[in-house]
Amino acid sequence: MGDRSNSIRVKVSRGDDRGRHFDEFDVPALESQTVLDVVTWIQRNADPSLSYRFACRVGMCGSCAMTVNGKPRWTCRTHVSKVLQGDTLTIEPLRNLPVVKDLATDMSEFFDKWTSAESRFVPTKTREDAIEIVQPATKERIEADAAIECINCGVCYASCDAVELNPDYLGPAALNRAWTLQNDVRDGGKNSRLRAVTGEGGCQNCHSQQGCVQHCPNTLNPTRSIAGLKRLATRAVFKREL
Amino acid sequence: MSVQTTDTDILILGSGGAGLLAALHAYKSNPELEITIAVKGLMGKCGCTRMVQGGYNVALSSSDSVERHFMDTIAGGKWLPNQKLAWKLCETAVERVRELENEIGCFFDREPDGTLHHKAFAGQTADRTVHKGDLTGIEIINRLMEQVLARPIRKLEEHRALALIPSADGVGISGVLLVDMRSGAMKLVRAKAVLLATGAGPTMYKYYTPSGEKSMDGLSMALRAGLPLRDMEMVQFHPTGLLAGKDTRMTGTVLEEGLRGAGGELHNGAGERFMFKYDDRGERATRDIVSRGIYAEMRAGNTTPNGGVHISMSHLGPDNVREKFKGMVKRCADCGFDLAAGKVEVVPTAHYLMGGVVCNTDTETSLKGLFVAGEDAGGIHGANRLGGNGVANSTVFGGVAGEAMAGYAATAELLEPNSVVLEREIERALMPFNLEGENVNVHALREELMDIMWEHVGVMRDRIGLTRGLERVENLKSRLLAGNIGVENRVFNLTWHDWLNLYNLIEISLVITRAALARENSRGAHFREDFPEPGSLDESYFTQVELQETGLEVEQIPVEFNIIKPGESLIEDYTETAPKVQRRPDTVGA
């Protein structure tokens, strides 16, 4: 970091889907500085009308993802020195989602698809029952755990070519969650969910380009989860269950 | 100013653990009711339940009991909790964790034999903290969010609540004035029952851990609506917040307590390990003692370059640290710090507000039709909150509120709003556009507030400092009202919301300061250098602040020992002041 000049040239995408342009700002370079700090500096010191979204500041809420120098990232956990090209940063909203204004996208369709994929637990027990015995070393628990720590930030969705080609495609995050549930021994919704994720916008749309794997800030592997769903679907077709 | 008006049966403000559980319980109780959740950010993606690392306290292990959990909560709260609320918390947590696991789908960590894993947490006499790794909050909120999204519950995302609007006849609540942040339009949502679950969050301090959008909105609205707030002097500081300078949002964010538990050392600017000067347990002393130790070093000028102290883990072996604290090491590395092999600057950081709106065990407040749950509610934790009781509190009482509101809304009527209050509140929210005068720099004023509160109303307090703090915050308020923000467009206007945030933070800062002045003893999170003793436990009182026509009024109200009195215990061999429990040194949790 010692070689950095003392200011950063920042190009920021402004406007919404009716019209967008870039504004440029010079932002002082600091030793401890994330991309979110750069955006915040602009709003506080250069242009108070700049719109963006953030909440937790520590990579837990997934509200602040943007496109930084062409790649989708959590801005709160991206140190400027890791992404700077020369002395320039280009910051745009996430791809594959409508823009509300400037850097904030409308994530409604992302969550609607989460619901369409039936990516929610279907109980087989109630609060009156004891908690199910599930040994952590079992294959199902290990599979369920492998993909469970998704924070629904939308980075995979924005990096997915299949979503770009087919706007009805459910996308990596919703399908990744569906896979964890198909491995959850406590869940009672597996048959219905498998139908939900193998329809028109379902798992077959994935061409394993692995944009999601490359960009997931939590180092999850949705491509692998989707491959698991495809296997389940094939098996179900053979058994005439689907 | 025109206001679009819509009606709903139940309106929930907030989508943390309290808000989402309330929606699910209300829906289950009566699916015929129309339920609406309004939230300042995206559904389930703002607020602090999601940020819970440690876990969820629940008496489910064979060595534990509800009585023991209750005793730890009362002892930890220094005898100030409302005992009926504390009992309900501990009792209902058992059912709530089973509901979260069996019905909602949270998949908590297990022992090798497949039963729930309970980890040890500081200040507790049994292992009772259920968790999902060190990302328990994400698991709870994601699973709740999925369930809420799948039900016919109306969502108002990026809708900020501006004011609680009472009925024209004053008998109850009529609804809530909101602004759609995306369009800037004002809306009145009338409701038969309203839940305040916006999650407080002491972000008026120079260093703070809560989610960045939090700004005491709920408590500020409650105060303006005339509701009493209790225990407002009780602000919990976490000893190790990241210190990276004032221009980064990373500053203040929490480095987990487990680092000290595992043997992490604190060094001052001269490289001395100082905590043993203050407590025999060194770095493993409780949060409040370590925070005061660090603060004392800072005040004496024994500081690191950014004005804090260092936490050092490398003597434990960098690879070992990387393995044991994977998430924490990665977070630090992403932001340019080497936690495993280097030193990281830390500082005490405001973490949680124990105080809140006075309520009963059914979450009812003194305003008919208004309910409260989570960090907005007061009295559950008293003078200090145990780690793991925060998410228990929000989810337990959120569910309780959902059922209570469904019962209430079944027979209640929608009420006509008090138009005078409505007009006044609209005018207040638009002040940043309409005030005469030079543009105000909202951010500079926010930084000034954070400095004042840290310096005068922070880790250590005394009369002179608190009085000075009060004057300075009042002066700051008048400067905030001396001009407009210089941005006309109301669409997704963050600077407008920064102004509203600051206004609310100022109002509640004044309440905290007044309550802190009134408590002339030291209990839990509140430490008065001029009154360092805890005072008589038998004569324990809590502070209660109300906004009256003449200004803020502070009362001292005796604690009702309606379950146990100081010196008594519900279980045998209980030593209230220092739980005598032997545990491995590496299991003291965050």
Q: Confirm if B455 and B462 have CB atoms less than 8 A apart.
A: no
- pLDDT higher than 80, residue B1: no
- Which of B24, B29, B142, B157 to mutate against chain A (most A CBs within 10 Å)? B142
Q: Which amino acid is at B564?
A: I
Query: What is the secondary structure of B70-87 as a DSSP string?
Result: HHHHHHHTTT-S-HHHHH
Q: Is B25 a catalytic residue?
A: no
How far is it, in rounded angstroms, from Cα B459 to Cα B508? Answer: 17
Mean pLDDT, residues B378-391 taken together = 96
Question: By percentage, how much of chain B surpasses pLDDT 90?
Answer: 90
How far is it, in rounded angstroms, from Cα B343 to Cα B43? Answer: 37
Q: What is the pTM of this model?
A: 0.96
- DSSP element (H, E) containing B124: none
How far is it, in rounded angstroms, from Cα A232 to Cα A211? Answer: 23
Q: Which amino acid is at A46?
A: A
B230 in A contact zone (CB under 8 Å):
no
Query: What is the secondary structure of B186-245 as a DSSP string?
Result: EEEEEEEEEEE------TTSSSB-S-TT--SHHHHHHHHTT--EESTT-EEEEEEEE---
Reading phi first (left if > 0) and then psi (alpha if -120 to 50, else beta), residue B400 is in alpha
Residues 80-139 of B with CB under 8 A from A: 95-99, 101-105, 107-116, 132-133, 135, 137-139
The pair phi, psi for residue A142, each rounded to 5°, is: -65, -40
Sign, Cα dihedral of B479, B481, B482, B484: positive
- Which of B60, B103, B181 to mutate against chain A (most A CBs within 10 Å)? B103
Residues of B in contact with A186 (CB under 8 A): 101-102, 105, 107
Mean pLDDT, residues B209-236 taken together = 98
Place of tokens 């690392």: B53
Query: What is the band of A5 on the pLDDT scale with cuts at 50, 70, 90?
Result: low
Q: Give the single-character DSSP code of B248.
A: -
Q: Confirm if A185 and B102 have CB atoms less than 8 A apart.
A: no
Question: By percentage, how much of chain A surpasses pLDDT 90?
Answer: 94
Look at residue A241 in the predicted model and tell me its pLDDT: 82
- pLDDT higher than 70, residue B581: no
CA distance B123 to chain A (A): 26
Q: Confirm if B109 and B85 have CB atoms less than 8 A apart.
A: no
Place of tokens 């209980």: B574
CA distance A177 to chain B (A): 10
Q: Confirm if B205 and B461 have CB atoms less than 8 A apart.
A: no
Whole-number Cα distances in Å, A182 to A74, A140, A147:
28, 9, 11
How far is it, in rounded angstroms, from Cα A228 to Cα B587? Answer: 37
- pLDDT higher than 50, residue A185: yes
Residues 150-179 of B with CB under 8 A from A: 150
CA distance B356 to chain A (A): 22
Q: Say whether B52 sits in a helix, a strand or coil.
A: coil
Q: pLDDT per residue over B403-450, tens digit each?
A: 999 999 999 999 999 999 999 999 999 999 999 999 999 999 999 999
Q: pLDDT per residue over B505-540, tens digit each?
A: 999 999 999 999 999 999 999 999 999 999 999 999
CA distance A208 to chain B (A): 26
B326 in A contact zone (CB under 8 Å):
no
Q: Which of B96, B105, B491 sits opposite A120 (nearest CB)?
A: B105
Q: Is B260 a catalytic residue?
A: yes
Residues of chain A with CATH 1.10.1060.10: 108-238
Mean pLDDT, residues A93-106 taken together = 98
How far is it, in rounded angstroms, from Cα B107 to Cα B140? Answer: 9
Q: Where are the alpha helices (DSSP H) in B325-418?
A: 326-334, 389-409
Look at residue B580 in the predicted model and tell me its pLDDT: 41
A104 in B contact zone (CB under 8 Å):
yes
Angle ∠(B583,B588,B590) on CA atoms, nearest 5: 160
Residues 472-531 of B with CB under 8 A from A: 485-487, 489, 491-495
Residues of A in contact with B116 (CB under 8 A): 131
Look at residue B585 in the predicted model and tell me its pLDDT: 38
B527-533: which pairs have CB atoms within 8 A and are 24 or more residues apart? B527/B288, B527/B292, B527/B459, B527/B460, B527/B461, B528/B461, B528/B462, B528/B463, B529/B460, B529/B461, B529/B462, B530/B462, B530/B463
Residue A15: name the closest of A66, A50, A65 by CA. Answer: A50
What letters, b where the CB count within 10 A reaches 16 and e where it falls short, cover A193-230?
bbebbbeebbbbbbeeebbbbebbbbebbbbbbbebbb
How far is it, in rounded angstroms, from Cα B377 to Cα B199? Answer: 9
**Beta-carbon separation of B115 and A131 below 8 A:** yes
How far is it, in rounded angstroms, from Cα A147 to Cα B474? Answer: 50
Residues of B in contact with A150 (CB under 8 A): 142
- Report residue B162 as tokens: 């501006």
Query: What is the band of B576 on the pLDDT scale with cuts at 50, 70, 90?
Result: low
- Which of B335, B442, B490, B497 to mutate against chain A (most A CBs within 10 Å)? B335
**Beta-carbon separation of B138 and A53 below 8 A:** no
- pLDDT higher than 50, residue B590: no
**Beta-carbon separation of B245 and A31 below 8 A:** yes
Angle ∠(B307,B308,B311) on CA atoms, nearest 5: 145
Q: pLDDT per residue over B247-273, tens digit each?
A: 999 999 999 888 998 899 999 999 999
Q: pLDDT per residue over B293-312, tens digit each?
A: 999 999 999 999 999 999 99
Residues facing residue B492 across a β-bridge = none
Q: Which of A36, A101, A125 sits opposite B102 (nearest CB)?
A: A125
Q: Which residue spans within chain A are E strands per DSSP?
A: 7-16, 19-28, 65-68, 71-74, 88-92, 99-101, 104-105
Residues of chain A with CATH 3.10.20.30: 7-105
How far is it, in rounded angstroms, from Cα A223 to Cα A229? Answer: 10
Residues of A in contact with B41 (CB under 8 A): 53, 55, 61, 63
- pLDDT higher than 70, residue B342: yes
Q: Which of A77, A114, A123 sits opposite B103 (nearest CB)?
A: A123
CA distance A108 to chain B (A): 9
Q: Give the single-character DSSP code of B461.
A: B
CA distance A68 to chain B (A): 15
ipTM: 0.97
B272 in A contact zone (CB under 8 Å):
no
Q: Which residue has the higher pLDDT, B96 or B567?
A: B96
Q: Confirm if B479 and B506 have CB atoms less than 8 A apart.
A: no
Residues of A in contact with B102 (CB under 8 A): 123, 125-127, 129, 131-132, 186
Please report, to the nearest 10 degrees, the dihedral formed by the alpha carbons of residues B49, B54, B56, B58 taken in order. Answer: -160
Q: Which residue of A has its CA nearest to B99?
A: A127
The full set of domains in chain B, from first to last, is 4-53+132-234+352-418 (3.50.50.60), 239-348 (3.90.700.10), 420-532 (1.20.58.100)
**Beta-carbon separation of A32 and B250 below 8 A:** yes
Reading phi first (left if > 0) and then psi (alpha if -120 to 50, else beta), residue B167 is in beta
How far is it, in rounded angstroms, from Cα A102 to Cα A14? Answer: 4
Q: pLDDT per residue over B134-166, tens digit each?
A: 899 999 999 999 999 999 999 999 999 999 999
- DSSP element (H, E) containing B555: strand B551-558
What CATH class does A7-105 carry?
alpha beta
Look at residue B2 in the predicted model and tell me its pLDDT: 75
- pLDDT higher than 50, residue B577: no
- Report residue B469 as tokens: 């703090």
Strands B235-242 vs B551-558: parallel, antiparallel or unpaired: unpaired
Query: What is the band of B589 on the pLDDT scale with cuts at 50, 70, 90?
Result: very low
Query: What is the band of B572 on the pLDDT scale with cuts at 50, 70, 90?
Result: confident
Mean pLDDT, residues B196-209 taken together = 98
Q: pLDDT per residue over A53-81, tens digit each?
A: 999 999 999 999 999 999 999 999 999 99
Q: Give the single-character DSSP code of A124.
A: S
The hierarchical CATH code for the domain A108-238 is 1.10.1060.10
- Report residue A67 as tokens: 């496109």
